Amino acid sequence: MFVSTSLSFIAGMLLGSRFRVGILVPAIVIILVATFVLGSLSGRSLPLTIASGTLALTALQAGYLCGALSAVRSPLKLGQPDGLGISAHDSR
């Protein structure tokens, strides 16, 4: 369960740094399908499979939030444009 939660968090961070929030819908569907297929193949009980899926979805969304926040803050570093076409070194 720890591995799937960690992978979901990392996937969420990558998605959050690259895409808008609409990408979460297909990612949630993929994680739900994968969780229930792998849970049934490994013989887990239904409550444990649901708990694993819930943790994975929570980690995905938390990772998305962290990735999106880091993507917002990263262009504000010195020498990079701030999104308005003005860099830190311009003298305007």
Which residues, at least 6 apart from 17, have a Cβ–Cβ distance to it below 8 Å?
Answer: 67, 68, 70, 71
Q: Which residues of 49-58 are buried (b: 16+ CB within 10 A; e: fewer)?
A: beebbebbbe
Q: 86 and 61 in contact (C-beta within 8 Å)? A: no
Based on its alpha-carbon atoms, the radius of gyration of the chain, rounded to whole angstroms, reads 18
Token pair belonging to 38: 């792998």
pLDDT in tens, 39-54: 999 999 999 999 999 9
**The predicted structure's pLDDT at residue 77:** 52
pTM: 0.74
pLDDT in tens, 54-86: 999 999 999 999 998 887 776 555 455 555 555
